[in-house]
Structure 1
């Protein structure tokens, strides 16, 4: 074994022991969830609230506890006070809310320690064992920490705080490296202490309701599945925009940029789900196998297929907005893109020649994430011929709005009521807040529940990660080696003009430019 700790050191019973959510008296097991980096923003704003939501909905097992672990010196009570203000109940389920919060907080504990200290993790292990009371114990570690300390924490948890008689799993937050080389090194290092089945690489976009619905929409509706190919679809657009800048967090962002932060993970994962072939089953490995096939069929990005931008200061409505480099945490000469648009292609029989256009940016005119599918023109369009209907208006478009105000709508051509023949573009609209009045669970709730249950289909496998980085690494290297200057665009605008030229190069018009608010 060349002197290294075994990959099974953290737990060798991953496949033998599964968590039983029932109240069986035969197997009384406990679930211990340790949030590493408990004093950080992600833990306070997302992870603890998601865990409380699962508890409120009775989705957690009867015997569970939560430990916060960080370097900050806090007591159990101080942790509870810190997170209590972030806990909320569903709008449609307010009854017994305060009682539930009180019960949940009583199950929250804290341990202060260094991230690279085996001794501190041994102390955590003693506290966990004390709370577990000798029962079968399953342990989940959520690494809400910077990636440079992932391996230290996993090493210490493996050697000193893994479960002795149940499973141990680790959720790892992005970023998973900066390129192919660093990602491969991170995976290699983690696998000194973990098996692949124990690593849950989380991309919270995969837990969003509309992304989850992609496969249902396509594979269970006959009206869509036959159309899902180059024969009927002329382009697919994956759009992510934020209406705010780095807001004082530019130091972190400047190290990664918009391509690594959004495109290489969130948007590429959605693309793979959208374009994959029908999996053999809904089993996690069957789905992930199909996603990997899509990623391996794509041609690596070239400079000529990408536009990068960076927002600059702008005055609007009597208010002045700072540019990216005006952020005191960002170097004055930074070339880090805050906007990118790219054209990607899948070299297989289903999608040959169909441009998949990605666009992601900060400090744009709106906050939105959506998938837009533009269908081909109607052959020999009767109304185009006789009434001169605008070509774009003769094209159907399917839109899946991931956020905000989740919706699915299909743009169709329709006759305007009246004596004349005039066409109008109308929407067949499924607005989630109208059709499903209950509050939609947060993505972290779904992903945490899946990790507890050992369901891996919404988590990223190592070969998926390798294939994703292989697409973007040559581009990122070119951008940095050639010091490509990003095109400047005003804060609050629609982004760089270059993005429109890129789309036009493939005879595409961005679908989010109409200003619609369906």
Structure 2
């Protein structure tokens, strides 16, 4: 037998046991069946994350990984694909003894997603793992596949008996976004999936919720007395939630041209960040308690009456990304020349609760913008009285608490401070907390945390279908409003910060977008 992985100590293990911080959270006997193993997500994120979990000692000795795809591969061919993916993308060092132990549990099942014979072979493979690898009847099915196949694969899992656990065991399904194309399709998908798997066995992956900084938002708010007293409409002027990318669509034209920025990012990532920012303190950090507070927020979100003034969209044209000349969206390979898909979307929302009455939440997302950054900026009101001359504070802005989700995870606070010298001059300064500088232990990649939570059956970071449907109720009217306009989105030059209409949206409210 190969050597077992080295023990993981609390000093370098970021995924600790919730009750005893000296102990890691180790999954029990189980396997994962991965549909779509030839895709980019599986190769660059999922397979490396599984190896990193094994390398940290967080998977059981008999853990097994089954690949399912339309390829005529043997088990060893699949093992080579995983090996190459791990070598290229794993975040922990490659250790031969860990790899050999993990690879013993690799299996591959060839077949199409609607092939009954292939699913019968998969069922036999799973039973063999229970007998030979000690997976104990516990199996997670990861659907890293196009959304159109979610329902057919779930139905085939049910028909082959793979979705039905024996007493004392579990079967779980993991679904990647998007969860539907609109409210109606989301409801249809939820009905099919939850008709096969119980709601508590359905894990909808939003990888942003696995990021350490997103979870730190809850710690920032509820573990510190200094923030919660000002986290309301008495002190907060507005909130800006930004997800900016400096890349284009790459090779995703077939997917992206059907979706656009609003569906791709705002409906899931940004509305989840809004909910976590605006939620009331949960009674406990349990799945049901956290979800209940997020659902209250999403149910209270209202769109302004005039969507022309409260929304903006755009499409990147050719321009400069740094010192590289890049093409416009319509010139990307695979994009329909007559496309009206937006690559930038912004919206002003209101959260109609006692805490947030009158505070606008501005959400924006776009590609080919000035830099890559995701952040939540809570911008405070100006001091009611400044006992200084106007010239002493002419460069003074508004205080802000900025939670940086990526790429430099941390928190920045902006406040006024006196400039050194003989005169009273107050200017904005920042105080910065960065994860990399403050903690010696490494943060797990989002998919490490989420995959481990699936295997442990811990669902606090996964949205339920109620949250998904509430999010579509918010976004559907915006999408329908743009569709009725019948005009293409206005262009903005690549490397800039979006179309003029986005800046006008803020200017009408007497505000400006932050420049991260």
Fold equivalence (TM over 0.5): yes
- Partner of 1:413: helix, strand, or coil? strand
Report what 1:193 is aligned to: 196
Deviations 1:408-463 (Å, cap 9, x if unpaired)?
Answer: 11011111222222222211111111112433211111111111111111111111
Report what 1:100 is aligned to: 98
Question: Does structure 1 residue 407 correspond to structure 2 residue 410?
Answer: yes
Q: Provide structure 1 residue ranges, at least 5 long, that are not aligned to the other structure.
A: 1-27
Match among 236, 245, 248 for residue 245 of structure 1: 248
Shift in CA distance, 225/67, structure 1 to aligned 2, threshold 3 Å: same
1:219–1:225 Cα contact (<8 Å) kept: yes
1:311–1:363 Cα contact (<8 Å) kept: yes
Report what 1:350 is aligned to: 355
Report what 2:510 is aligned to: 507
Question: Does structure 1 residue 371 correspond to structure 2 residue 376?
Answer: yes
Match among 488, 491, 494 for residue 494 of structure 2: 491
Distance 2:463 2:87 in 1: 29
* Bigger mean CA offset, 160-169 vs 113-122: 160-169
Correspondences of 1:275-424 after superposition (within 5 Å): 275-300=278-303, 302-314=307-319, 319-383=324-388, 385=389, 387-390=391-394, 393-424=396-427
Report what 1:111 is aligned to: 109
Report what 1:24 is aligned to: none
2:52–2:91 Cα contact (<8 Å) kept: no
Distance 2:104 2:363 in 1: 45
Distance 1:92 1:447 in 2: 16
Q: Provide structure 2 residue ranges, at least 5 long, that are not aligned to the other structure.
A: 1-26
Distance 1:484 1:316 in 2: 27
Shift in CA distance, 485/93, structure 1 to aligned 2, threshold 3 Å: closer
Offset at residue 89 of structure 1 (A)? 10
Offset at residue 192 of structure 1 (A)? 2.3
2:392–2:426 Cα contact (<8 Å) kept: no
Distance 2:323 2:346 in 1: 30
Distance 1:217 1:317 in 2: 34
Distance 1:317 1:190 in 2: 44
Report what 1:47 is aligned to: 46
Offset at residue 129 of structure 1 (A)? 1.0
Distance 1:249 1:503 in 2: 31
Deviations 1:371-405 (Å, cap 9, x if unpaired)?
Answer: 1111110111123x4544137x2421111111111
1:303–1:475 Cα contact (<8 Å) kept: no
Match among 458, 462, 478 for residue 459 of structure 1: 462
Report what 1:184 is aligned to: 187
Distance 1:85 1:411 in 2: 44
2:492–2:499 Cα contact (<8 Å) kept: yes
Offset at residue 91 of structure 1 (A)? 9.8
* Bigger mean CA offset, 415-424 vs 192-201: 415-424
Deviations 1:8-59 (Å, cap 9, x if unpaired)?
Answer: xxxxxxxxxxxxxxxxxxxx97301101111111111111111111111111
Report what 2:68 is aligned to: 69
Correspondences of 1:217-296 after superposition (within 5 Å): 217-296=220-299
Distance 2:100 2:481 in 1: 54
Report what 2:36 is aligned to: 37
Shift in CA distance, 186/316, structure 1 to aligned 2, threshold 3 Å: closer
Distance 1:425 1:180 in 2: 44
Offset at residue 481 of structure 1 (A)? 2.8
- Partner of 1:30: helix, strand, or coil? coil
2:48–2:86 Cα contact (<8 Å) kept: yes
1:92–1:438 Cα contact (<8 Å) kept: no
Distance 1:140 1:92 in 2: 23
Shift in CA distance, 61/208, structure 1 to aligned 2, threshold 3 Å: same
Report what 2:4 is aligned to: none
Report what 1:15 is aligned to: none
Distance 2:462 2:157 in 1: 21
Report what 2:441 is aligned to: 438
RMSD between superposed Cα atoms in Å: 2.0
Distance 1:457 1:390 in 2: 45
Shift in CA distance, 356/79, structure 1 to aligned 2, threshold 3 Å: same
TM-score (norm 1): 0.89
Question: Does structure 1 residue 149 correspond to structure 2 residue 149?
Answer: yes
Report what 1:131 is aligned to: 129
TM-score (norm 2): 0.90
Offset at residue 227 of structure 1 (A)? 0.6
Shift in CA distance, 394/476, structure 1 to aligned 2, threshold 3 Å: closer
Distance 1:449 1:389 in 2: 50
Distance 2:144 2:253 in 1: 19
Distance 1:483 1:363 in 2: 24
Distance 2:454 2:311 in 1: 36
